């Protein structure tokens, strides 16, 4: 696989929505220092030796970058675009390949099976009309869930936005990758799932 720096360089100039829903253009040069921090962390003492034995530093850093850099927002914006095409998502595919290879290479104890939660600010367009009994909700991109119900509530920003709509997803017997030990925010108890299709 391509290394982290080269993979993320392919995203330079991509327009994406940040955590604050602001539209920005990704500058790989500006983001370089954040990626360098990820590489330093990947080679450091906090990483499980069993993980270091199976993954390269670039692969470990790719997981860490998902939890603490703009790379996550760039990738998600491209994959969520309803008008996406092979050409439009190409800039993020190099990073996704590196990240997915890393996740698939993790020791088996990092695979989580159980109840999962996800909270979202707002409601997807025409949600009530589209989501009836036995209908499905697709997530085409890698999607973050949590094993902690209260974390999902925090992402919905109920306290800050008490009168605004929000959405809570709950999955029974979900299967994903436990990236808590690779996260800048370990208290979020994050589980990464790839290609989710939820049935109501």
Q: What is the pLDDT of residues 15-74, one digit of tens each?
A: 988 766 678 899 999 899 999 999 999 999 999 999 999 999 999 999 999 998 999 999
Work out the burial of residue 70: count CB atoms within 10 Å of its CB; fewer than 13 is exposed, 13-18 middle, 19 or more buried.
Answer: buried
Domain range 109-200, CATH architecture: Alpha-Beta Complex (3.90)
Sign of CA dihedral 42, 140, 104, 177: positive
Higher per-residue confidence, 132 vs 178: 178
- The answer to whether residue 126 scores a pLDDT higher than 60 is no
Q: In the prediction, which pLDDT does 130 show?
A: 57
120 within 8 A of 166, measured Cβ to Cβ: yes
Token pair 């159980």 in the structure block, residue: 114
Round to whole Å and give the CA distance between 143 and 145: 7
User: Which are the contacts of 58, defined by CB distance < 8 A and separation ≥ 6?
Assistant: 1, 3, 4, 39, 42, 98
Q: In the prediction, which pLDDT does 110 show?
A: 98
| Neighbouring-strand partners of residue 118 | 169
| Neighbouring-strand partners of residue 23 | 17
Is the entire prediction scored with pTM above 0.85? Answer: yes
Question: Tokens at residue 197, please?
Answer: 């299709």
pLDDT tens-digit readout, 158-179 = 666 667 778 888 888 889 999 9
Q: In the prediction, which pLDDT does 165 show?
A: 79
Q: Where in the chain is the domain with CATH 3.90.176.10?
A: 109-200
Round to whole Å and give the CA distance between 26 and 122: 25
- Of 31, 44, 17, nearest to 181 by C-alpha is 44
Q: b vs e for 126-159, b when ≥16 Cβ sit within 10 Å of the residue's Cβ?
A: eeeeebeeeeeeebbbbbbbbbbeebbbbbbeee
> Across the chain, what does the average pLDDT equal?
88
Q: What is the mean pLDDT of residues 75-86?
A: 87
């Amino acid at each position: 696989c391509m290394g982290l720096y080269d993979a993320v360089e392919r995203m330079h100039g991509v327009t994406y929505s940040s955590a604050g829903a602001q539209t920005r253009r990704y500058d790989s040069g500006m983001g370089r220092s954040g990626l360098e921090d990820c590489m330093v962390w990947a080679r450091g003492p906090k990483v499980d030796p069993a993980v270091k034995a199976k993954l390269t530093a670039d692969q470990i850093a790719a997981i860490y970058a998902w939890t603490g850099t703009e790379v996550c927002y760039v990738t998600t914006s491209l994959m969520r675009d309803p008008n996406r095409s092979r050409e439009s998502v190409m800039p993020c595919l190099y990073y996704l390949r590196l990240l997915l290879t890393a996740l698939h290479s993790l020791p088996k104890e990092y695979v989580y099976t159980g109840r999962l939660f996800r909270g979202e600010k707002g409601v997807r367009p025409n949600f009530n009309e589209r989501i009836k009994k036995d209908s499905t909700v697709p997530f085409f991109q890698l999607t973050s869930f949590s094993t902690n119900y209260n974390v999902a509530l925090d992402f919905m920003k109920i306290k800050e936005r008490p009168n605004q709509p929000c959405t809570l997803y709950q999955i029974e017997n979900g299967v994903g990758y436990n990236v808590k030990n690779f996260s800048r925010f370990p208290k979020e108890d994050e589980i990464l799932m790839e290609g989710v299709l939820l049935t109501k």
